[in-house]
Amino acid sequence: MGRNIVTPNIDSIVSLAKRRGIIFPGSDIYGGLGNTWDYGPLGVELKNNVKQYWWKSMVQQNSNIYGMDSSILMNPKVWEVSGHTNNFSDPLSECKVCHSRYRSDELIDPTKCLKCEGPLTPERQFNLMFKTFVGPLEDEAAQIWLRPETAQGIFINFKNIVNSMHPKLPFGIAQIGKSFRNEITPGNFIYKTREFEQMEMEFFVSPDTDAEWYEYWVNTRFNWYSSIGIREQNLRLREHSQKELAHYAKATKDIEFLFPWGWGELEGIANRTDFDLSTHDNGSEGDLKYFDQIRQDHYFPYVIEPAAGVDRTVLALLLDAYDEEPLNNEKNEVRSVLKLHPKMSPITVAILPLSRNDLLVPKSKTLFERLQNQFKCSYDDAQSIGKRYRRQDEIGTPLCVTIDFETVNTDDAVTVRHRDTMEQERIPSDNLVQYIQDQLDLYV
């Protein structure tokens, strides 16, 4: 079965996501809050699949990568020393007539408003960190920031991890968590929001090996996106020019996806040198040098950082998997289907009795309870079987299991229907668990 050639319109994804319980507009019943989104029952499964698979490939499968989970709220000195308080900003200009706001570096003509062509104010730096207050008094002393990245939580725990786990270089520290940025131009659904989730790993290496580890992580992370089913034609690597490089980075490559509005970043891999450890060492009480027992030397390791976005990966998965296929039937129907990799699908197996019949329902429920222990399952007996297949196609369920009268009266076999080919097979229900497992194993 072919895959779509045209990247789908973002509106079809937004409406599918709402209709099918994947992602809802935030604060909906109060008229919404711009650019906030809530993950529904199926969306949270998809998002968890992304996070769990990242954790498995980074932490579980690498004995030298350690996981952690740091606080969102940190001592404000962390952000002063890291440079965020002064430098974590984007250039902002505002229209003097209609007051529309722009990120000046995104404008082709930074003097004219895109909406009303009015004159724009000269650009000023706008800090993207969200300010908040600890305790009841809103005074300066109690002012802190919501973290704009998870990385600093890792650097400030470097010594704790070295002292407790005694890792040898090279080793990594990984974490997944929420970050907050008061973006000037949020938008494009969950692509750019003010609250989002990151999956970041800081990989510490001896300074003479940084170039090779940088290449290693660029390739490994690029291949990871193929391994979750995103087609390579929609992925590319883009190297940052010298001008674009962050002040702490020696080299950076972005992994980009072809969104409907053009190429956009999913993940950045940066060679951050020893910038972070040495600045925190200078600015804090901590001694962040690493003692290399082989060399008998104290030094700051270099850091290679793959920093990815959970929400952008979810969006790329939805866009890449979405397909509309003519069914070539009398009604000229078109089915919409999410051809997700089964390990990303919110539901792996749907159990569908042919009808709401007194014989079929109990049999189906027993089967559902049995399969639920091994796979993510859903049970659905509402409406016609055709409509239920369409519903499962739209949420990307790779396998549907149908229980009919033959199952209960004659052969105790069920019909397994495959999402991508729509082919159906009859399988003895005793062999079903093994059969499903074999089908999932076919996907690498």
Contacting positions for ligand ATP (CB under 6 A): 149, 181, 183, 192-193, 196, 198, 265-268, 307-309, 311-312
Do 84 and 259 touch, CB atoms closer than 8 A? no
Nearer to ligand ATP, 266 or 414 (CB): 266
Nearer to ligand ATP, 234 or 372 (CB): 234
Using Cβ positions, the residue closest to ligand ATP within the complex turns out to be 309
Nearer to ligand ATP, 266 or 338 (CB): 266
Phi, psi torsion values for 225, nearest 5 degrees: -70, -30
DSSP letter assigned to residue 411: I
Do 79 and 227 touch, CB atoms closer than 8 A? no
Q: Write down the least CB distance from residue 249 to ligand ATP, Å.
A: 10
Q: Give the number of residues written for the chain.
A: 444
Q: Write down the least CB distance from residue 146 to ligand ATP, Å.
A: 13
Q: Write down the least CB distance from residue 68 to ligand ATP, Å.
A: 18
**Cα separation of 264 and 289, whole Å?**
36
Q: Write down the least CB distance from residue 246 to ligand ATP, Å.
A: 9
Do 123 and 93 touch, CB atoms closer than 8 A? yes
Nearer to ligand ATP, 130 or 216 (CB): 130
Q: Write down the least CB distance from residue 48 to ligand ATP, Å.
A: 17
**Cα separation of 54 and 50, whole Å?**
6
| Closest to 321 in 3D by CA, of 298, 303, 344 | 344
**Cα separation of 422 and 399, whole Å?**
9
Q: Write down the least CB distance from residue 96 to ligand ATP, Å.
A: 26
Nearer to ligand ATP, 184 or 395 (CB): 184
Helices within 258-384 (DSSP H only): 275-283, 310-321, 360-372
Nearer to ligand ATP, 183 or 394 (CB): 183
Nearer to ligand ATP, 201 or 385 (CB): 201
Residue type, 360: L
**Strands 171-180 and 65-67, how do they pair?**
parallel
**Cα separation of 410 and 173, whole Å?**
57
Residue type, 35: N
**Cα separation of 193 and 23, whole Å?**
14
Nearer to ligand ATP, 179 or 402 (CB): 179
Q: Write down the least CB distance from residue 110 to ligand ATP, Å.
A: 18
Q: Write down the least CB distance from residue 197 to ligand ATP, Å.
A: 8
Q: Write down the least CB distance from residue 419 to ligand ATP, Å.
A: 28
Nearer to ligand ATP, 239 or 324 (CB): 239
Q: Write down the least CB distance from residue 184 to ligand ATP, Å.
A: 10
| Closest to 74 in 3D by CA, of 85, 60, 62 | 85
The secondary structure of 55-73 as a DSSP string is HIIIIIT-TTEEE----SB
**Strands 424-428 and 413-418, how do they pair?**
antiparallel
Nearer to ligand ATP, 268 or 396 (CB): 268
**Strands 195-205 and 235-239, how do they pair?**
unpaired
